Amino acid sequence: MSVKLGVPSKGRLMEKTFDWFGARGITLGRAGSEREYAGQVDGIDGVELILLSAGEIPRELAAGRIHLGVTGTDLVQEKLSGWNSCVEVMAEMGFGQADLVLAVPSAWVDVGTLDDLDAAAAAFRQVHGFRLRIATKYHRLVREFLRDNGVADYALIDSQGATEGTVKNETAEAIADITSTGDTLRANHLKMLDDGLILRSQATLFRARRAELSNADRSVLAQLLRQLEVD
C-alpha cells in the first residue's frame, strides 16, 4: 500500500500545485510523456501521485480511494453532499481563486439585486409562459443559494462549459459560473448581481476522512503533513 495523493492532471491547477509542493520539498511530476497520466513523487517515500480531473477529485476523496487531494473548494462543495463530513481542509493553497457568481444581461438595467431578479423572474413567467432559465454546472450550490435568498421562480439549465455563451445563444436568461478577472462576463455582456456572490473558491488540500490506512501508511501521511507544515 501507499498514501495516495490526487492532483489535477492538467490546466491551471496542476502546475501551481506542483510548485506549491516543490516549495515544501516534495517534488511532483509526470512520470512519462506529457500525455501520460502517471505521476512521480520525490522527497518522501511511500506516497503515490494520482493525476485526475479536478472535477473527479472530490468523489475519489469521498470514496477513500485517495487519502489527500488538491482541488477547488467550489468543486468539493458542489459535488459532495455534507462535504464537511467527507473531507477535512488541510490547507488553502493561495491560488486558483475564483468566485462563483450569479449574473444577468448588462442590458437589464432594472435588475441589480436578488430581489430584482425575483421580481423579474415572476414577470418573465407571465410574459413568456415558462420560467426564467439559469445556466450552470453548479446545481447544488445555486439551488441552495437561491432557496436561502427567497428566489423560487426559475429553472436550472445544465451547462458544463462556455456557460456565459448561453445567454447570447438564447438557451438561458441568466448564468451562475466561476469568475476571476471578470473578462468573460464583460465580453458576453453580463453583469454580476450586487448580492450575487455564491461562493469564494480557491485551490485547497483536502484529507479524506474515511480512507483506510495501514499503520505504516498512517505514519507516512503524518510525515507528509509535517513536511508540508499543515498538520
Ligand X SMILES: O=P(O)(O)OC[C@H]1O[C@H](OP(=O)(O)OP(=O)(O)O)[C@H](O)[C@@H]1O
Ligand Y SMILES: Nc1ncnc2c1ncn2[C@@H]1O[C@H](COP(=O)(O)OP(=O)(O)OP(=O)(O)O)[C@@H](O)[C@H]1O
Binding site for ligand Y (CB under 6 A): 11-13, 53-55, 72, 74-75, 96, 98, 178, 180, 201
What are the beta bridge partners of residue 133?
155
Instruction: Give SS3 for 132.
Output: strand
Angstrom CA distances, 119 to 17, 77, 110, stand at: 43, 29, 10
- Which partner in ligand X, ligand Y, none is near 182 (CB below 5 to 8 A by kind)? ligand X
Q: Which does 72 bind (CB under 5 to 8 A by kind): ligand Y, ligand X, none?
A: ligand Y
Single out the residue of 77, 179, 201, 204 in contact with ligand X (rule: CB under 6 A): 179
Angle ∠(93,14,157) on CA atoms, nearest 5? 90
- What is the spatial distance between Cα 12 and Cα 111, in angstroms, rounded to a whole number? 33
Give CA–CA dist 206/91, Å, rounded.
Answer: 7
Q: Which residue among 177, 207, 220, 221 contacts ligand X (CB under 6 A)?
A: 177
**Residue 124 beta carbon to ligand X: minimum distance, rounded to whole angstroms:** 24
- Tell me: does residue 15 bind ligand X (CB under 6 A): no
Q: Is 182 in the site for ligand X (CB under 6 A)?
A: yes
CB of 16 to ligand Y, least distance (A): 10
**Closest chain position to ligand Y (CB):** 72
Q: Does residue 164 bind ligand X (CB under 6 A)?
A: yes
**Could you give the C-alpha distances from 62 to 57, 90, 96, 206, 227, in angstroms and in order?**
9, 15, 22, 10, 24
Environment class of residue 213 by beta-carbon count within 10 Å: exposed (0-12), middle (13-18) or buried (19+)? middle
- Cα distances (angstroms) measured from residue 168 to each of 99, 109, 124, 134, 180: 22, 17, 17, 13, 21
Does 74 sit near ligand X (CB under 6 A)? no
Report the partner that residue 96 touches, choosing among ligand Y, ligand X, none (CB closer than 5 to 8 A by kind).
ligand Y
65 binds, among ligand Y, ligand X, none (CB under 5 to 8 A by kind): none
Stretch that binds ligand X, among 22-30, 111-119, 173-181, 212-220 (CB under 6 A): 173-181
Residues that bind ligand X (CB under 6 A): 161-162, 164, 177-184
